[in-house]
Structure 1
Amino acid sequence: MNTPLIMIVGAADTGRAPLTAALLRRMLLQRTIDVRVESAGVLGHDDDPASPDALAVAEHLSLDLSAHRARSLSADLVDAASLLLAVDRGTARVARLRFPQAEARIHTLGELAGRDRDIPDPFKMQIGPWLIYAQEIERLLQQALPRIIAFLPQVLTAPPDSKPPAPLPVVAEERRAAAERTAQLLDLMTRIPGIVEWSAAREQIEITIALAQARQAGASDLVAAYGALLRAALALTPPVPGTAHLAALRDAIARLEQPITSEDVGSLSARLGAWSTLA
């Protein structure tokens, strides 16, 4: 039996669509589910590479889109796909109008995740919004995964002789120690306000982030994306941070003692939305 195909449908197939495909591909591979995940667009940007912003955020997420080339959604691709997963409702509407025979197989990511949500197109935005939207895409994929798998003719796992997924690697002692020291410093600042100048503490946090990113613990360690979000948190922290900001930074820095997972990145990304409300 042929390997099932999931087709991610985007607008130009240069940003959200290839990024979503790469995230879903990795997610299924980690679960040893044998499925092809590809992408195509409805606007006809054939042979265009992934956008520079998509390439940059993919690198932060330990993904590689350098070989990606956009293509148009065709009747052959539609017929071959078990599921056509559109990045937003507008794209899904276009796909349904062009290929009405496949309407039952065309859904948005928000629909399958049980959310009334479309991820905005971050075209020409800075890397921060791209990272935030990429992490939201990953969370929606996780929520939608059982329904995505239900569209497949059968769940095909990897052959019995395949190697199991590798365990999370061990973090270098230098990174672990730096994260522990900085977390302890922030904890001291929460308990004894004014004991350390914020400028000095902030410099120490920046050094710890840079060290952690330089000591990535393997491809599954999402420390690059996590570090970018930590820097965004620093930018949002007031010149005289309160104990809530210090405690939140302490908890976030402490996570650097272990390999960073997608859940860690998603949690910090979600917390950034309320960062300015911390006392």
Structure 2
Amino acid sequence: MALIVVVGGADTGRAPMGAVLLRRLLLESYPTWQIESAGVLGHDGDTWQPEARMALEHLSATPPTHTARSLSAELAHQADLLLAVDRGVGRALELQYPNGRWQVLPDLAETPREVLDPFRMTLDAWLIYGRELEHQLKVALSKIIAYCQGQAIAPTAQAAQVESVTQAETSPVELASEVHPAYRRLHILAFGIAGIPEVIDWSKARNSLREAMQQFANYLAASAGPSDLRPAALAMLGGVLGNGSDPLNANQLAILREIVGRVAQTLDPQDLAGLAGAIGRWQS
């Protein structure tokens, strides 16, 4: 028998969803294996986010009674595998349990996609994430089983590329000459602000960011096809950015960099849902 703990943030959405979906995948061949969930900052005592429950039902899975909990040292020690739902959670596990038995789901599935937290998002967003979570679990299943049975797992090519991919998305880069001037200005503003937040006039910075986003969104609306959802992403970012003069915190700066980096290229519905999940963490 093995104990697998799917680890997320609050243990009210992705982690218990992942546990239910993984339990279903393992039930026929490994019926005695225990599949549980926990959060690195679990909202202890809370229950399911309503949309997470409904998304599971749409995926023909039955959500059990659930009480959120934080990952304890005892549970981490007992587990045969701590399965992080995204790379941010994986980094938290690495810091807290450097010698622990943990793996990162998207790395095992060899995908750059992250199932980000769709907190306070619509049911449609939860369904998109639920399907992606189930897909990653299916792809990674053989490695999950092998790891729990004591077999070594070689680092995947995708896992080796994660750092460079993240760097490309969240660090300032030399922009090509054909980049639209409005995007160039937006990029310089976003990454420049992130580099020196302590000396920024935040009222002016927010206004400048909103102006650059609007100019770029206007350009996209006139030149890109209706399937390009970058204007929607920029509208969501502008909505949370607001008109105030308060400094952006480290979490908000990271989200700003992530979204500005991503809107350099066309966004499809799944990409937009991922960015919506990031925006949902703006106030966390």
Structure 1 residue 86 and structure 2 residue 90: aligned?
no
- The alpha-carbon deviation at position 33 of structure 1 amounts to 4.6
What residue in structure 1 maps to residue 58 of structure 2?
A: 60
Structure 1 residue 113 and structure 2 residue 103: aligned?
no
- The alpha-carbon deviation at position 5 of structure 1 amounts to 0.4
One-letter amino acid matched to 1:14: T
On the 8 A contact 1:41/1:71 being kept in 2, the answer is yes
What residue in structure 2 maps to residue 150 of structure 1?
A: 146
On the 8 A contact 1:11/1:42 being kept in 2, the answer is yes
On the 8 A contact 1:8/1:86 being kept in 2, the answer is yes
- The alpha-carbon deviation at position 30 of structure 1 amounts to 3.1
Unaligned runs of 5+ in 2: 152-225, 227-267, 271-284
Q: 1:46 aligns with which of 44, 47, 50?
A: 44
What residue in structure 1 maps to residue 118 of structure 2?
A: 122
- The alpha-carbon deviation at position 132 of structure 1 amounts to 1.2
On the 8 A contact 1:8/1:20 being kept in 2, the answer is yes
* TM-score normalised by structure 1 residue count: 0.52
One-letter amino acid matched to 1:30: E
On the 8 A contact 1:85/1:107 being kept in 2, the answer is yes
On the 8 A contact 1:21/1:39 being kept in 2, the answer is yes
On the 8 A contact 1:8/1:40 being kept in 2, the answer is yes
What residue in structure 2 maps to residue 74 of structure 1?
A: 72
- The alpha-carbon deviation at position 94 of structure 1 amounts to 1.0
Unaligned runs of 5+ in 1: 156-235, 237-270, 274-279
SS for the counterpart of 1:44 is coil
Distance in 1 (alpha carbons) for counterparts of 2:41 and 2:76: 15
SS for the counterpart of 1:139 is helix
One-letter amino acid matched to 1:148: I
- The alpha-carbon deviation at position 154 of structure 1 amounts to 6.9
Distance in 1 (alpha carbons) for counterparts of 2:3 and 2:40: 18
Distance in 1 (alpha carbons) for counterparts of 2:89 and 2:36: 16
Q: 2:135 aligns with which of 125, 139, 150?
A: 139
Distance in 1 (alpha carbons) for counterparts of 2:108 and 2:119: 24
Pick the structure with greater CA Rg.
Answer: 1
What residue in structure 2 maps to residue 170 of structure 1?
A: none
- The alpha-carbon deviation at position 34 of structure 1 amounts to 3.0
SS for the counterpart of 1:96 is helix
- The alpha-carbon deviation at position 44 of structure 1 amounts to 3.2
One-letter amino acid matched to 1:152: C
Distance in 1 (alpha carbons) for counterparts of 2:83 and 2:98: 15
SS for the counterpart of 1:40 is strand
Q: In angstroms, what is the RMSD of aligned CA positions?
A: 2.5
Report the CA distance shift for 1:32/1:101 in structure 2 as closer, same or farther (over 3 A). Answer: closer
| Identity of matched residues, % | 48
Report the CA distance shift for 1:6/1:32 in structure 2 as closer, same or farther (over 3 A). Answer: closer
Distance in 1 (alpha carbons) for counterparts of 2:24 and 2:59: 11
Distance in 1 (alpha carbons) for counterparts of 2:14 and 2:142: 21
- The alpha-carbon deviation at position 39 of structure 1 amounts to 0.3
Deviations 1:14-73 (A, max 9, x none): 000000000000000033453111000011311100111111112212323351110110
